[in-house]
Amino acid sequence: MRQTSRKPFTRRNIALFLVSLAAVSLLSACRPPFAPRVIFARPAVLTQTASATLPVDTATPVPPTATPSPIPATPTPVGCQEPNGRVETRVFETELFPKPITVNLYLPPCYDPTAETPYPLVILLHGQSYTHEQWLDLNLPQAADHLITSKQAAPFIVAMPREEYYLQDYLDSKYGSALIQGLLPWLSAEANACGEARCRAIGGISRGAGWAALLAFENPGTVSAVGAHSIPNPPFSDYRLFYLLGLTPEGQVPRVYVDTGTSDRYFSGAQRFVRLLEEYEIDHLWLQADGAHNNEYWAAHMPEYMAWYAAQIAPPQ
């Protein structure tokens, strides 16, 4: 058996070993601690490659549906929007009278001279020493406007002629003939006024009231109503009225409106006229109110006058 001989450790060897170990430790202490190095790579730019083919729409395209244009709404017809009528002054000429006759014409709101249906007509005669302007001073247009715009009456026309020779006696004057035979046809042609008795009335104040009553009863079938406002005296006698009624066909005697102020100096004359109407049983209305024979009284009752005329010839539609 082979024996290996080992050299014994000497003090010198031990000292060298310790010195070497110390040197190694010193070097290790001076070296920085280990830190692993991390390297970050740049992000890769990815290129997307279509891996599948999208399906193709093979359906037949549907053309867009056209949106119809909106149909404009048919405007709803509205009634007359004018709040007032108007007054026109015209001149009427006839061979029946020596001079032209000036006439104020009240024309209702939305007056149409070509309307298919002629307008009901009221003829109003002024008092002695007045003119055709008297009715405007008494606010006739305002009263008529109110009746029409408030639907209390159908639109109507008012003719207000002037009597220049107002001092002449009724029987001597040609004024009445000019009105009945000339003015009425002229108004039908020029103003589209009604030409039938059922839609015509006549009235007046004082002397004009006498004229209105006389013309209405002497010309039966011309008007259907007559207004005698503050009539001073009957324009005919008992016997004359009896004769006129004998010539009047049945159903053509006009209705009569009579009124006067209780302080009117001609009050008794109005009473005599009413007694004639009562005697022959003529349809009439007899009204008395506070007041005298003046414009203040007539203006105060103008709305009542116009309402009565409208009720006779132009009732609400």
What is the spatial distance between Cα 79 and Cα 88, in angstroms, rounded to a whole number? 23
Strands 255-261 and 86-92: unpaired
pLDDT at 79: 76
What is the spatial distance between Cα 245 and Cα 243, in angstroms, rounded to a whole number? 6
Radius of gyration of the chain (CA): 57
292 C-beta neighbours (distance < 10 Å), count: 16
pLDDT at 20: 52
Q: How remote is the C-alpha of 63 from its chain's centroid?
A: 50
pLDDT at 244: 97
- Using alpha carbons, select from 250, 233, 241 the residue that is nearest to residue 216: 241
Domains and CATH numbers, the chain: 86-313 (3.40.50.1820)
Angle between helices 140-149 and 295-313 (to 10 degrees): 30
pLDDT in tens, the chain (317 residues): 444 444 444 555 545 555 455 444 444 444 444 444 444 444 444 444 444 444 445 555 555 555 555 555 444 446 788 999 999 999 999 999 999 999 999 999 999 999 999 999 999 999 999 999 999 999 999 999 999 999 999 999 999 999 999 999 999 999 999 999 999 999 999 999 999 999 999 999 999 999 999 999 999 999 999 999 999 999 999 999 999 999 999 999 999 999 999 999 999 999 999 999 999 999 999 999 999 999 999 999 999 999 999 999 999 87
pLDDT at 59: 53
Asked if 313 and 201 touch (Cβ cutoff 8 Å), the reply is yes
182 C-beta neighbours (distance < 10 Å), count: 18
Reported as type and span, the H/E element at residue 276 is helix 267-279
- Using alpha carbons, select from 161, 191, 196, 189 the residue that is nearest to residue 175: 161
Strand partners, 289: 261
